[in-house]
């Protein structure tokens, strides 16, 4: 329980997103097509959360996955779904703050 609270409030070990991206991590943006069209991280792949399970084959299992959305809620759900399927996943939270982290 304590570990979950630490992660929830960002008190756990810091994730080095620039390093993950440098090493080939794929950024999956789970916002709607319209939200994605209005702005996104260059190189990210848009798979809306409600289509993620059906389009999971678009995601490479041999690469780390970073999920993002508008604020971190949907990307958290996407992380859980992908982890259950055997992917190594990090919740990058909101796409704008993630964009600042990865440059």
Are 67 and 89 contacting, i.e. CB atoms less than 8 angstroms apart?
Answer: yes
pLDDT at 9: 58
The pTM for the full model equals 0.87
Tell me the C-alpha to C-alpha distance, in Å, between residue 33 and each of 25, 29, 42, 48. 21, 10, 15, 7
pLDDT at 11: 58
Compute the radius of gyration of the chain from its Cα atoms: 13
Q: What tens digit of pLDDT does each residue of 12-57 get?
A: 568 999 999 999 999 999 999 999 999 999 999 999 999 999 999 9
Tell me the C-alpha to C-alpha distance, in Å, between residue 83 and each of 37, 40, 65, 94, 99. 27, 23, 10, 19, 23
């Amino acid at each position: 329980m304590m570990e979950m609270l630490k992660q929830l409030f960002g008190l756990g070990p810091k994730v080095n997103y620039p390093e993950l991206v440098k090493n080939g991590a794929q950024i999956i943006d789970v916002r709607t097509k319209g939200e994605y069209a209005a702005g996104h991280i260059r190189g990210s792949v848009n798979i809306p959360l409600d289509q993620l399970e059906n389009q999971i084959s678009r995601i490479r299992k041999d690469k780390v996955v970073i999920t993002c959305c508008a604020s971190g809620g949907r990307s958290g759900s996407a992380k859980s779904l992908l982890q259950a399927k055997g992917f190594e996943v990090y919740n990058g939270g909101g796409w704008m703050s993630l964009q600042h982290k990865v440059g």
